[in-house]
Amino acid sequence: MANIRFQALKETFNRKPIKFKEKGKHSENFGKNVFNYTAMQQMMTKAAFKSVQDAITYGKKIDRTVADQVASAMKDWALSKGATHYTHWFQPLTGTTAEKHDAFFEPIANGAALEKFAGAQLVQQEPDASSFPNGGIRNTFEARGYTAWDPTSPAFIYGTTLCIPTIFVAYTGESLDYKTPLLKALQQVDTAATAVCNYFDKNVSKVISTLGWEQEYFLIDDAFAKSRPDILLTGRTLLGHAPAKGQQLDDHYFGSISDRVLSYMRELETECMYLGIPVKTRHNEVAPNQFELAPVFEETNLAVDHNSLLMDVMEKIARRHHFKLLLHEKPFKGINGSGKHNNWSLATNTGVNLLSPGGTPMQNLQFLTFFINTIKAVNDNEALLRSAIASAGNDHRLGANEAPPAIISVFIGSQLTKVLEALKNVSKGKLSPEEKTDLKLNVVGKIPDVLLDNTDRNRTSPFAFTGNKFEFRAVGSQANCANPMTVLNTVVAKQLFEFKKDVDALIAKDNLKKDEAVFNILREYIKASERILFEGNGYGEAWEKEAKKRGLSNNKTTPIALQAKISKEAIALFESMDIMTEVESRARYEIEIEEYMMRIQIEGRVLGDLARNHIVPVAVRYQSELIQNAIGLKELFGADYKTIAKEQLALIKAISDEITAVKSKSKAMLEARKKANKKQDPTKRAVAYCDTVKPYLDDIRSHCDMLEMMVDDEIWPLAKYREMLFTR
């Protein structure tokens, strides 16, 4: 067979942008395939509509007769849009989305048939759950799981299927998905934040958590991907020499987007509009062929669903455009990786963003309350937050001088640093009238100026305040946002409950006014959280040293980072907040530690195959040519040939050295895997993979990459970095 890489190159030379016809304005298409309020109002009785609204806003139960009505309306709406099937759409702990399609069609007597979909089918289903990961919760052959409708995320039509967002739980009650604990955490943060808001505004009756993610990704021509088993099987390149030109010129960032990519983006955006995903910005990222897509922020549960759906849609549309979508955190060595910033805030039903400084001192005290409580929550749970973003892929970014470090810290900017300094000096107990006036005029009254200060953004911080929201930047590009969002909302909820208790206690004990008590508690919180605040360069070694002194954890690898999930404190936290039982916490830990191990295992196997079956054979072939050449020279020149063929001889030797290294190290890696596999305990097995197998990946790669530089380009079998990264 001809060299697959050259076939791929030929294919890409003739690529044209895939024609794509836009159908009308985005605003007209927005939400067309979503069973949203507008569609519901059109299709449902007033009473049924109200019942669904109450379920969405206040978590009220929907009774069976109403469920029947909703199902019937949903079905009529879906059929009118050409849907033929329906599915419960859920997010099992595999990290992708799952669906099992059933037809609406149902045969009835006398050879006739009709379209059927009842409340019972809307509300609950029993997919065969035995092959989804459950971390040992269910004995796979006996217990079953079921999916249950989540009315807070609207149903949508994708292709010709009506997708109904659901949770996924075991019959024994344990959650088996990402959504269930997230919904519970969102409920808790609502309760806790609403109670705190009522100190400042009695009209607040609900607080929602908001999330705006920014999705980074790479696109390469799919012909190249097909030539690379590593990309196909692991989502990243396990070898490949850096190109002569990388990203050093920074000429890709915000540069013009190629026609092929633009055509892809437009089709993707149009599909997003139909699905109600409010994508808004698109641009090139730092690395060649790297891009970013970001929506307008939404309520967190919906935003999480939309991101999961988006990742799926992105891949499907990429195929149509002959692209391979790479969502991996680190597809290319030496080139920037991809993340998914999670912009997060809290908003009231009265339309106030609680992390946005307001116009009055009272609004600003409310802002400071939420701002400082969030900082304290991060401070008290830094290791748990780190564990929420841990994955084999993300380990390549965190601490690798491109993404935020593995140390969690909070950046707030110089102006808010000054505000916190001032608050730290507030007197204990009752405040004098002078001090109150001073606070009002000079501290709390001045905050809106911060918004104007956009200059001191710190790109190296994993958790940064950016004017009216916090930005959790260390999330991996492939991650399901539910994981970090569950942890963040839980720790903030817990903190806000404590704050309320502390303030109430102080009011009762010292007979303080409400704002005096708030100032007093905030002062203590600032003092208690100082170690987490860091404004400097997060990439530097100096910060590692300093963080260590401050007692912050620096968990560089996933097996270590994940331990925080099963610490006594974390288990107690999730139990006390009614979000996960100990069994659930442990099951999730086990799934993640196993997944980590399996990813390294697969990478090890794929690299072993590549080295033995792709790299070594071509190296030998090329070396044979050199040997023929040297023999020829010897015949021609006799004893003089050693000087004349000096370079060839050196190369022959060097190739032999690299081949020997590749062979012996591949063998050693295999042995290390065997040894690791013998460990029964999943944690120990994962640690063994991390410490004894993973280092070989880099080591073997370096020898293969040396060979890439030596062997004739004409016979190299795998698409090269320069081809994958610079072909549009």
- Told to check if 295 binds ligand ADP by CB under 6 A, we report yes
Q: What share of the chain is helix, strand, coil (3-state, %, to 5)?
A: 55, 15, 30
Report in angstroms the alpha-carbon separations of 98 from 93, 142, 312.
10, 21, 11
Residue 469 binds what, of ligand ADP, Mg ion, none (CB under 5 to 8 Å, by partner type)? ligand ADP
Q: How would you label 421-437 residue by residue, b for 16+ Cβ within 10 Å and e otherwise? A: ebbeebeeeebeeeebe
| Rounded (10°) angle between helices 646-677 and 582-609 | 150
Q: Which stretch binds Mg ion (CB under 5 A): 339-347, 362-370, 430-438, 594-602?
A: 339-347
Least separation in angstroms between CB 184 and ligand ADP: 20
Determine contact, residues 479/592, Cβ cutoff 8 Å: no
Strand segments (E) across 245-352: 279-284, 290-295, 298-299, 323-326, 340-348
Is 344 near ligand ADP (CB under 6 A)?
A: yes
Span interacting with ligand ADP, options 40-48, 114-122, 294-302, 645-653, rule CB under 6 A: 294-302
**340 binds Mg ion, rule: CB under 5 A:** no
For position 341 contacting Mg ion by CB under 5 A, the verdict is yes
296 binds ligand ADP (CB under 6 A): yes
b/e burial code for range 29-42 (CB count within 10 A of at least 16 → b): bbbbbbbeeebbee
Q: Contact region for ligand ADP (CB under 6 A) — 55-63, 141-149, 295-303, 529-537?
A: 295-303
In the complex, the smallest distance separating the C-beta of residue 510 from ligand ADP, rounded to whole angstroms, is 35
Stretch that binds ligand ADP, among 37-45, 222-230, 339-347, 437-445 (CB under 6 A): 339-347
Give residues 427-486 in contact with ligand ADP (rule: CB under 6 A).
Answer: 466, 468-469
How are beta strands 101-103 and 85-89 bridged, if at all?
A: antiparallel
Q: Find the binder of ligand ADP among 87, 215, 343, 555 (CB under 6 A).
A: 343
Q: How far apart are CA 335 and CA 286, in angstroms?
A: 9
125 binds, among ligand ADP, Mg ion, none (CB under 5 to 8 A by kind): none
466 is in the binding site of which of Mg ion, ligand ADP, none (Cβ under 5 to 8 A by kind)?
ligand ADP
Smallest distance, ligand ADP to C-beta of residue 119, A: 34
Q: Is 32 in the site for Mg ion (CB under 5 A)?
A: no
Residue 302 binds ligand ADP (CB under 6 A): no
Given candidates 72, 301, 336, 345, which one binds ligand ADP under the rule CB under 6 A?
Answer: 345
Single-letter code of the amino acid located at 59: G
Judged on CB neighbours under 10 Å (0-12, 13-18, 19+), 210 is buried
**By CB under 6 A, residue 353 contacts ligand ADP:** yes
Q: Which is nearer to ligand ADP, 295 or 538 (CB)?
A: 295
Least distance in angstroms from the C-beta of 371 to ligand ADP: 13
Stretch that binds ligand ADP, among 211-219, 514-522, 549-557, 601-609 (CB under 6 A): 211-219
Does 413 sit near ligand ADP (CB under 6 A)?
Answer: no
How far apart, in whole angstroms, are the C-alpha atoms of residue 223 and residue 12? Answer: 7
**Candidate list 174, 190, 214, 603; residue touching ligand ADP; CB under 6 A:** 214
Least CB distance to ligand ADP at residue 375 (A): 17
Q: Which listed residue (211, 309, 447, 493) binds ligand ADP by CB under 6 A?
A: 211
* C-alpha–C-alpha distance, residues 696 and 423, integer Å: 52
Instruction: Determine which residue in the list 199, 218, 297, 641 makes contact with ligand ADP, applying CB under 6 A.
Output: 297
490 binds ligand ADP, rule: CB under 6 A: no
Whether 244 contacts 373, CB under 8 Å: no
- Angle 601-605-610 from CA coordinates, rounded to 5°: 145
Q: Which residues are within 8 A (CB) of 142 and not within 5 positions of it... i.e. 6 or more apart?
A: none
Cα→Cα distances 483→109, 234, 301, 679, Å: 48, 22, 11, 28
Stretch that binds ligand ADP, among 70-78, 204-212, 305-313, 370-378 (CB under 6 A): 204-212
- Residue 727's binding partner among ligand ADP, Mg ion, none (Cβ under 5 to 8 angstroms by kind) is none
Q: Rounded to an integer, what distance in angstroms lies between the CA atom of residue 74 and that of residue 35? A: 7
Kindly state the number of chain residues that form the binding site for ligand ADP, as judged by CB under 6 A.
Answer: 15
User: Closest distance between ligand ADP and the C-beta of residue 481, in Å?
Assistant: 11
Residues 575, 579: Cα–Cα separation, whole Å: 6
**Cα–Cα distance measured from residue 530 to residue 532, given in angstroms and rounded to the nearest whole number:** 5
382 within 8 A of 553, measured Cβ to Cβ: yes
Q: Which residues bind ligand ADP (CB under 6 A)?
A: 210-212, 214, 294-297, 343-345, 353, 466, 468-469
Q: Which residues bind Mg ion (CB under 5 A)?
A: 341
